[in-house]
Structure 1
Amino acid sequence: MDRKPPSTSPSVAAPFTPRNNSSASTPANANAPSTQPRLKSKRRNVWEKADGILLTIGKEFDSFAHFLEVMFYNRIPGVPDPRTTRHVRAVTAFLGGETNVTMATIINLLYNHPQSRPSRDSPDFSLHFSPPDISSPRDINCARPALSTWALQIVGPELRRQTWELTQNDASDPTDTTQLRASTNGRAKSIRLATWDTLGRVSIPRIASIYKRHARGLWYVTECCGAPTMNGVTVLRKRRPHNAVVQVGAISCLTLSRNRYASGYLALPLAVWQFVCRIHVDEKRVFSRFGFTVHDTTARACLDSLTDSSMSKLTASVAEGIANGTMYWQLVLDNTQEYCRQRDHRLGREDILKIGTAATAILLEDCAPGAFNLQDHIDRVMLQERRNLTAQSLRADIDWQYVAALLSSAGMTKRRLPKDRVTVMQPLGTNSEHSTETHGMMRVLDFFAQLGLDEKALENLIFMPCGDGASIAAIWRIKKFLCAHTEHYKAFRNVVPPGPEIFHTRWTKLNSISANSYAPASSADPSGLSKSATAAGAKRPTNLPDQHKR
């Protein structure tokens, strides 16, 4: 393209003529027009300056876009930089934010400019926010769809990268539970296996804080998609799901889709929860397909691994206590029932009631040395000092001053248990025996075997199983039947139940009080529990006597 030579000004200034001394004074008529030519041009505003620059650009470049392409030239490594120092400094100051007008202002002006919108007849009209498989920003001529498509194709890979980071364990945090393995074959190194502690730490606010810290862009996008707003402020609705819960669920599905081992946030705990709630197997498959939970097989493998590790710790603790001459654990027994309906009635199939006995091992704390010495217990039994045991003697042994101080407000404040102190429990495998029957309670030895206790281990120690009143009565009945046996283990002399469990006794008393004092539903007696229950809108119990159901 041939360039035209710069045109000269149509007016030429006359040569400067110096004035004499007399002309330095103020003329008689100051407002009269000067006859001398103007030597200094009029001060231009920014619009006139911009027009002059554009005039120069139009003469020196093919177009304004060509000028911008040259202005923001990217240096190629290994090739000499053709730019001048002034050029480099100007671009560096602008892109580095050292100027009064930053890049954000320019981008907003470009995107919101009326001329950046394509007309409805333009092929660029339908290309706003186009993914890579639809169009490239280089193929879009109009500014607004080109900018939106460019921004989308920049943000998409970044969100993909942030999602990938959420699937990786934090190497600097050994307590990180991103990738929790349900089980291990021992070949993989440095894996983080699921434990009861890690599953118990599942909290929606905790997971949300992790997502906000490690994937701010992903959190913002999901918030824009799922949270209603009013005047730009997120609004919490009472009749809608909570925004943070929905976001945590959505991001958890995305991370599990990227990496099937990234199940520690929500997928694995939810699968274990489904197993506990006994959700139908078809629902488990659907939730697994959607990415909400891991597969049911993985959940069962996790529970098997948790059980094996917990039982190993339990037996090790029991063995340690036996070596120290004491007993660290006790059992709490209770009967279980499950009514199994036959959905497919065929010949020989009918509804059955499954019964069994469940046991839970509970850790004993702050026990005195020698408290579980079997010989000391037998010697005290042989003295028959219980013949002199009366209600009055038991009352006299109680330190009532200590009880009063304990129940007072000051005493309760001083002796309050720490918040992090919890009872350590471990469920054991159930059997199919009835705990209230004699031959069924004889199977309590099965639970001893699960704890790693045998005749040799309990040779000089006593063991205290607890339960409801019927279970304790069955144990004492067995001890009476086998009292003539010479071996302590087979005669159940090692088994010393302390009495019925307090919680079971209180629950029995509460049921008795409710049944005896509930009164009919239409009773006008203000002392009847039904009157208070009706006023409070409480549901009526279903196990009341027949005369109270009318």
Structure 2
Amino acid sequence: MDIDCNYPEQLLGQHLLTFPSPLASPAQIISKDSSTPLSPTSTLNDTSFSPPSTHFNQTLSALEISHPLKPKSSHKRKRSAHERLLDDLENIDQHLQSICSDFGSLGNFLRLLFWHPRVTRNEDLCYCFHKRSICNFLQGKSSVKPVHIIRKIYSHPNSYPSWQSNNATEEAAKAFSLDLDPATIKYARPSLSAWAAQTCATRAHRELNRLTKNDPNHPEDTPARISIDSVTWDEINSITPARTIATFKRRAPYVEGLFRYLAEPRKSGKPIPQVYRPTDIVIGSPWSSGPTLVIGHNRFANGYLGLPLGIELFSTQTHSDIKRILTRMGLSISDQATRRALQTMTAKARDKMLAETVKKADKGEVARCYMLDNVQRNYAVHEGGLLVKPVMKVGCAATAVKLEDCEEGAWDLSDYLSRVAQNRRSTMTIHELWNGIDWQNHYSAQTLYRFRAHPVAIHRIPNSRRTKIQPLGTNSEREVEIHSMKRCIKDFDAQIGFTAAGADDSLLEWVGGNPNTGDGASFAAILNLQKYLAPTSLGNRETLRNKIVTLEIWHAKDKAMKAIAEEHFGPPSSSDPSSLSKLYTVAGLKRPSNPKQCDHYPTLRGFEMIWIAQILDCWRLVLGVEDLQAYFSNLDTNLLPSLDTLMSKAGIVVQKYASVGGYNRVISSSRHSGVKIKELRVELGTPWVSSSVKNPSPEQSNQPDSKMTDVDSFDGDRSLANSILFKMQFGSLLLLRYAIQDGDVGRVIQQLKVG
């Protein structure tokens, strides 16, 4: 609010009569009324500086007179900071009186001070010194920056209404208003806050409008608009949270920064990192920044969230009511648009797949393999508005997998048939399989379970490779039936493009079961087809001689786990310390009622818990300590064992307690006494004998061929041998599991040999 300093002479005279003569100078008033003197380092730029007392302000406002200049002293002494402040305030008072006298008000003076032509081509009427001073000030070339002045105005006690005023609530409510004109707000603080809020809102609105359009100069950005009639799967698969956040940072830095500030929890003004809910994901989610607001600005901006979410809702078979709600909320596109986009993407992907298959076949290579399995679903059949009965609809589904990193000639059918004709598999023995295992690598892998480099890895898929899959059209055939399986293969071959790749059928094609589900029926049905069609004179494709079939790896793990359960559980009430039934009781786990048909994942978690506990106990024995955790906790930092020491100890643990050699050494006392390496010798413990052996029943005593009669002749440690077998077998299962997770094809093949 501008203050007019041109007071009439009558008012000046009244004020002269009000105060005693001689009048006190501002320096005397401040020295008398100021309760806290300024420190030598205080300046006008300090935000903590408090202005002089109210009495001094009222006195300076009333006394609109020019103070006489102080007489110059013959001796100049260095003034203190407090004295300089008093002199500066006195000079300001004099200059303000002159400014108000010449320009009418302080506000009018500031308006003229920062006057500039509205258009740059117009003539600037300011004088040189004026323009140069304002330029240096606005460009930050002076010690006092414009923000210091704004902060002083904003934090001044007179810039907002006092709580004692009648319109305090009304005026304070105008702060940060997005509707009111800041010029109509009287007080400085609410007016400045409203202006800042409107400026930021305008900036955010401009950035959101920018996000609704594609930027052809930056192909790395997530596309804002994707045409439903020309969308491809590559465009959908390329949309990632990281790419979207990078797009927001480049195209809408203010909006992204604002929502990042709001999304991050803060302590003492510093953001707290979030592990389970990363800030980037929260910003890119529909509940925060870009996607929802952008779709609200333009419904065609479907790239950030609308189209991907619509496809996700369709694939998960979300209820139509939920789809409608999310569409109204601006989170997803309509179900009809999603179906049209899926049809477009499927047609383009199929054409691309056919072209790649033919192109690869011309070079003697195979582009894809496919995995098939049965599918079924219950449908409710209604007749006359009443539910008659649920009907099970069955079919066969397949997924094409793109093949990469294949050696030249790997899919040569003639070479494969020549090796099959040799029938070397009929002469394969267990000893040949045993000798084909790289036991050094196997023991190294047991020592370094989760290591992915040499000497553990054999043939690992590169980290940069991502398996590309493509669903094929589902048919209504039954995979367990011979004729249906033949029609299934013909259908899937045509969809991938094998039948169009060439008439000679000189390439080998890979067919497998679903790697996660199924019971091996697909594998058995294809083998039966090859067996029945082999004596015919049909071509390679009709007789399926060009097909190589593999069983699901998941079933290999499941069968191995059930074999371990059947062998090591024993009776439910077993007291054998190596029995899994006894260990399950000690660990508080529930024993499966039928170990031959136990649930996969609960049993796997129970085995892993017991295996880890046994391995840690083996470490305790090798290190010769009572409490492993207390040993390492009390160990000095400088005395911690090196990696090489731990590696050598781990090798001893494997050779002693989880290997075939360790099993053979404890199964017989003669073999145990013949061990020459001291570290591999096992200390003899208290022998355990079953209660049924100690106190045999009359029926058992009368049976001369009873298995209990070999107790006297057996001189090994049966419980320890069973424990070693469990650690060795389940350890191999864990190696197979980790090899699958790491994508190490070579280790998978080796563990299948070991199993």
TM-score, with length taken from structure 1: 0.77
Counterpart in 1 of 2:348? 309
Pair 1:528-2:580 in alignment: yes
CA gap of 1:243–1:460, structure 2 versus 1, over 3 A, is: closer
Deviation at 1:216, TM superposition (A): 2.9
Q: Deviations over 1:16-36 (max 9, x none)?
A: xxxxxxxxxxxxxxxxxxxxx
Deviation at 1:441, TM superposition (A): 0.6
Write the distance in 1 (CA, Å) between the matches of 2:210 and 2:175.
Answer: 29
Pair 1:57-2:99 in alignment: yes
CA gap of 1:130–1:400, structure 2 versus 1, over 3 A, is: closer
Instruction: Give 2:511's match in structure 1, choosing from 440, 453, 465.
Output: 465
Q: Deviations over 1:477-505 (max 9, x none)?
A: 23344445432257424443344233333
Counterpart in 2 of 1:177? 222
Task: Confirm or deny: 8 A CA contact 2:373 2:479 kept in the other structure.
Answer: yes
Task: Confirm or deny: 8 A CA contact 2:370 2:510 kept in the other structure.
Answer: yes
Write the distance in 1 (CA, Å) between the matches of 2:595 and 2:391.
Answer: 21
Pair 1:151-2:196 in alignment: yes
Q: Deviations over 1:157-187 (max 9, x none)?
A: 11111222333334333232232525335xx
* SS of structure 1 residue aligned to 2:219: coil
Pair 1:418-2:471 in alignment: no
CA gap of 1:61–1:341, structure 2 versus 1, over 3 A, is: same
Write the distance in 1 (CA, Å) between the matches of 2:459 and 2:482.
Answer: 42
Q: Deviations over 1:272-329 (max 9, x none)?
A: 2333332222222222222233333333333333322322222112212332344333
* SS of structure 1 residue aligned to 2:467: coil
CA gap of 1:534–1:332, structure 2 versus 1, over 3 A, is: farther
Counterpart in 2 of 1:111? 154
Number of residue pairs aligned between Structure 1 and Structure 2: 507
* SS of structure 2 residue aligned to 1:40: coil
CA gap of 1:365–1:110, structure 2 versus 1, over 3 A, is: closer
* Aligned pairs for 1:329-478 within 5 A: 329-340=368-379, 346-347=385-386, 349-365=388-404, 367=406, 372=411, 385=423, 389-391=427-429, 395=433, 398=436, 400=438, 410-412=454-456, 416-443=460-487, 444-454=489-499, 457-461=502-506, 462-467=508-513, 469-478=520-529
Write the distance in 1 (CA, Å) between the matches of 2:257 and 2:590.
Answer: 43
Write the distance in 1 (CA, Å) between the matches of 2:458 and 2:595.
Answer: 42
Write the distance in 1 (CA, Å) between the matches of 2:331 and 2:588.
Answer: 38
Write the distance in 2 (CA, Å) between the matches of 1:93 and 1:223.
Answer: 34
Write the distance in 2 (CA, Å) between the matches of 1:99 and 1:389.
Answer: 94
Higher mean C-alpha deviation, range 326-335 or range 511-520: 511-520
Higher mean C-alpha deviation, range 492-501 or range 351-360: 492-501
Task: Confirm or deny: 8 A CA contact 1:288 1:295 kept in the other structure.
Answer: yes
Task: Give 1:318's aligned amino acid.
Answer: T
Deviation at 1:156, TM superposition (A): 1.0
Write the distance in 1 (CA, Å) between the matches of 2:429 and 2:407.
Answer: 25
Write the distance in 2 (CA, Å) between the matches of 1:88 and 1:4.
Answer: 34
| More helix as a share of residues | 2
Counterpart in 1 of 2:689? none
Write the distance in 1 (CA, Å) between the matches of 2:417 and 2:501.
Answer: 18
* SS of structure 2 residue aligned to 1:68: helix
* SS of structure 1 residue aligned to 2:490: helix
Q: What is the alpha-carbon root mean square deviation over aligned residues?
A: 4.3
Deviation at 1:366, TM superposition (A): 5.2
Counterpart in 1 of 2:682? none
* SS of structure 1 residue aligned to 2:393: strand
Write the distance in 2 (CA, Å) between the matches of 1:230 and 1:116.
Answer: 30
Counterpart in 1 of 2:630? none
Task: Confirm or deny: 8 A CA contact 1:331 1:359 kept in the other structure.
Answer: yes
Deviation at 1:136, TM superposition (A): 0.5
CA gap of 1:211–1:395, structure 2 versus 1, over 3 A, is: same
* SS of structure 2 residue aligned to 1:349: strand
Pair 1:40-2:72 in alignment: yes
Pair 1:137-2:182 in alignment: yes
* SS of structure 1 residue aligned to 2:370: strand
Write the distance in 2 (CA, Å) between the matches of 1:264 and 1:523.
Answer: 62
TM-score, with length taken from structure 2: 0.58
Write the distance in 1 (CA, Å) between the matches of 2:500 and 2:112.
Answer: 92
Deviation at 1:147, TM superposition (A): 0.9
Deviation at 1:242, TM superposition (A): 5.2
Task: Give 1:477's aligned amino acid.
Answer: N
Counterpart in 2 of 1:229? 266
CA gap of 1:230–1:547, structure 2 versus 1, over 3 A, is: closer
Instruction: Give 1:218's match in structure 2, choosing from 250, 255, 265.
Output: 255
Q: Deviations over 1:452-489 (max 9, x none)?
A: 23388353324332236322222232334444543225
Pair 1:94-2:94 in alignment: no
Deviation at 1:523, TM superposition (A): 8.6
* SS of structure 2 residue aligned to 1:510: helix
Write the distance in 1 (CA, Å) between the matches of 2:425 and 2:186.
Answer: 104
Deviation at 1:98, TM superposition (A): 1.7
Higher mean C-alpha deviation, range 350-359 or range 256-265: 256-265
CA gap of 1:217–1:425, structure 2 versus 1, over 3 A, is: closer
Pair 1:84-2:113 in alignment: no
Write the distance in 1 (CA, Å) between the matches of 2:435 and 2:311.
Answer: 48
Q: Deviations over 1:206-260 (max 9, x none)?
A: 533443343332133324544443332234678x965543332222211222233
Write the distance in 1 (CA, Å) between the matches of 2:585 and 2:557.
Answer: 21
Deviation at 1:435, TM superposition (A): 0.8
CA gap of 1:234–1:393, structure 2 versus 1, over 3 A, is: closer
Task: Confirm or deny: 8 A CA contact 1:373 1:460 kept in the other structure.
Answer: no
Task: Give 1:221's aligned amino acid.
Answer: L
Pair 1:297-2:336 in alignment: yes
Task: Confirm or deny: 8 A CA contact 1:356 1:431 kept in the other structure.
Answer: yes
Task: Confirm or deny: 8 A CA contact 2:222 2:247 kept in the other structure.
Answer: no
Instruction: Give 2:175's match in structure 1, choosing from 106, 111, 128.
Output: 128
Task: Confirm or deny: 8 A CA contact 2:357 2:501 kept in the other structure.
Answer: no
CA gap of 1:402–1:466, structure 2 versus 1, over 3 A, is: farther
CA gap of 1:500–1:3, structure 2 versus 1, over 3 A, is: closer
Higher mean C-alpha deviation, range 528-537 or range 113-122: 528-537
Write the distance in 2 (CA, Å) between the matches of 1:532 and 1:437.
Answer: 42
Deviation at 1:199, TM superposition (A): 2.4
Counterpart in 2 of 1:72? 114
Pair 1:195-2:233 in alignment: yes
Deviation at 1:108, TM superposition (A): 0.7
- Paired-residue identity, %: 29
* SS of structure 2 residue aligned to 1:497: strand
Write the distance in 2 (CA, Å) between the matches of 1:542 and 1:69.
Answer: 91
